Structure 1
């Protein structure tokens, strides 16, 4: 006689879109025999474990755009941060001290 194994509950994920077929609200989550969470599309059969998703995320790279060609901010030669005069901490303390001396 075979051992009875209860079926693992499958939960539909509201608003989830399948990365393969782009169907919305067709993705279920469940735990496999190893205890890993698995997402599966009931339309196309795509399935992926959380470990596979994590590995895929690590391999993903930042997109190259016109604004940041290599994923790094573009700076002009000789570009420097702005320095606002008269707002250094020592200048503020000196003014406060001189105002106190006048009283």
Structure 2
């Protein structure tokens, strides 16, 4: 039992040190979503950050406006640099444009 308590305290101490030395990085992405010659409106855009040892972090979510434009901002405290990416989920009407 004593070993378990010491392990938890050691782990908490290590996490505190890592949090103290992390650097906050900021990222902003703006863009326009389209399918052929048509703007994609109300599409969910998620800003995520890749982590090697744990599940990726969701930094923020937004939706595109009626002209397909979006702007999204996020920040993350990491030891080292962040690896941001966008997750955009849509089907573009299976690639068929309605005229």
> Which TM class, normalised by the smaller chain length?
under 0.3
Instruction: Choose between structure 1 and 2 for higher RCO, CA contacts under 8 A separated by at least 6 residues.
Output: 2
The structure in which a higher percent of residues are strand is: 2
What is the TM-score of this pair, normalised by structure 1? 0.25
